[in-house]
């Protein structure tokens, strides 16, 4: 796609391909309690999924020494990353995301691709997430050697969860996955977070009661590169076609996004495996057009810059709001401005002064 990517491909080809002897030695090393970063790295770029899993576990760990190892590992993997197509998929619970991802994943594997599925779900608990947690929902994909499925990392803040997923993408790409699918159930701002880490953003919908756009969260439509009406099967086909037309009309009314791509609306039945091929063709068309006009690479560069500034700003806010003096006074000051007793600007100055005192 880009010069960078070509360079990366060349580097990959210098890595010796795995032989069974090497694989056995690597396997033994990976079983040790304190696997070194080098061991993990070499195994990951040799496409070892155990190593990839261990690497992502390091990224997700809250232990300080794990954190440092994870950062070293990511830095090492970075030159081998960035060669995939990253697809974001969102949709409310019940829309059939798992079935859809399984159908799309299986199609891609039949076409010779390696598929990694990650998730961003800030509502997931320590038990490792509500989405993708129940792997039985993607039975055939789980069994495939060419697929790697990982539930959402746990965490309290969307920023933290999204950062872990974004770092995991780098490891998956270094491990040779061509297609990275990022799923989100759309809690809070999670669609925005996923949108800013993928190349193509797909909104999965069901045909509803006629007034399709009511109830869609603000801003989601503007982010979508495609809207796919799922469960277009049986009695539902007519309604799905109607929904498709309504979305097409609505999309036409929205201003074009900066990539000059007109979002398309398709129907599919993930359950009956119908329409999946067309969706993949659409994604390929998008990648083709945006690679040629430069948006694909430009977008990734923008996303990197966005994440840099975003991380800095989240960190600044987190330090401020966790300052004990600020914590102590924030609620009182918010109440005072809400009662019009003090201006927001005077309250802000007061709290900023407080934060410097500790």
- Nearest residue (CB) to a second copy, 19 versus 304: 304
The structure tokens 């005077």 sit at 346
Residue 140 or 315 with smaller CB distance to a second copy = 315
Give min distance, CB of 110 to a second copy, in A.
30
CB of 4 to a second copy, least distance (A): 6
Backbone angle region of 203, left / alpha / beta, with phi > 0 → left and psi within -120 to 50 → alpha: beta
In angstroms, give the least distance from the CB of 341 to a second copy. 7
Residue 79: helix, strand or coil by DSSP? helix
Our CB check for a second copy shows the closer of 20 and 345 to be 345
CA dihedral defined by 167, 1, 86, 266, rounded to 10 degrees? 170
- Of the pair 7, 110, the CB lying nearest a second copy is at 7
By the 10 Å C-beta count (0-12 exposed, 13-18 middle, 19+ buried), 19 is classed as exposed
102 versus 167: smaller Cβ distance to a second copy: 167
Shortest separation between residue 144's beta carbon and a second copy, angstroms: 29
Residues 6+ apart with CB under 8 A from 333: 342, 347, 350, 351
CB of 68 to a second copy, least distance (A): 11
Distance CA 269, CA 32 (A): 45
* Residues lying near a second copy in the complex (CB under 8 A): 4, 71, 74-75, 78-79, 81-82, 163, 166-167, 170, 213-219, 222, 249-250, 253-256, 300-301, 304-308, 310-313, 315-317, 320, 333-334, 337-348, 351-352
Q: Which two tokens stand for residue 330?
A: 């924030």
Residue 85 β-bridge partners:
179
Nearest to 152 by CA among 197, 185, 192, 113: 185
Rounded Cα distance, 242 and 282, in Å = 20
- Comparison of 76 and 97: residue with beta carbon closer to a second copy: 76
């Amino acid at each position: 796609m880009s010069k960078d990517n070509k360079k990366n491909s060349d580097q990959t080809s210098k890595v010796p391909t795995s032989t069974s002897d090497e694989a056995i030695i690597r396997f033994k090393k990976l079983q040790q309690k304190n696997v070194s970063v080098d061991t993990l790295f070499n195994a990951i770029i040799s496409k070892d999924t155990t190593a990839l899993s261990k690497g992502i576990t390091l990224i997700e760990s809250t232990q300080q020494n794990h954190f440092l190892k994870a950062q070293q590992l990511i830095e090492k993997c970075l030159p081998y990353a960035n060669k995939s197509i990253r697809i974001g998929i969102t949709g409310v619970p019940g829309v059939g995301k798992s079935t859809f991802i399984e159908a799309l994943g299986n199609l891609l594997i039949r076409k010779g691709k390696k598929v990694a599925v990650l998730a961003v779900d800030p509502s997931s608990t320590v038990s490792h997430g509500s989405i993708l947690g129940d792997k039985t929902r993607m039975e055939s994909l789980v069994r495939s050697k060419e697929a790697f499925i990982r539930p959402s990392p746990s965490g309290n803040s969307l920023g933290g969860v999204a950062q872990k997923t974004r770092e995991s993408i780098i490891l998956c790409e270094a491990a040779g996955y061509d297609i990275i699918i990022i799923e989100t159930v759309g809690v809070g701002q999670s669609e925005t977070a996923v949108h800013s880490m993928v190349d193509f953003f797909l909104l999965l919908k069901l045909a509803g009661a006629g007034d399709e756009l009511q109830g869609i969260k603000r801003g989601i439509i503007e982010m979508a590169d495609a809207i796919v009406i799922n469960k277009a099967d049986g009695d539902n086909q007519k309604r799905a076609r109607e929904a498709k037309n309504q979305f097409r009309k609505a999309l036409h009314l929205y201003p074009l996004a900066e990539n000059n791509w007109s979002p398309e609306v398709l129907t599919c039945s993930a359950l009956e495996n119908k329409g999946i091929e067309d969706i993949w063709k659409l994604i390929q068309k998008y990648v083709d057009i945006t690679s040629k006009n430069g948006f694909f690479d430009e977008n990734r560069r923008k996303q990197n810059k966005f994440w840099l500034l975003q991380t800095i700003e989240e960190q600044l806010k987190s330090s401020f709001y966790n300052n004990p003096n600020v914590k102590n006074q924030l609620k009182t000051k918010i109440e005072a401005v809400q009662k019009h007793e003090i201006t927001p600007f005077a309250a802000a100055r007061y709290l900023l002064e407080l934060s410097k005192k500790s």
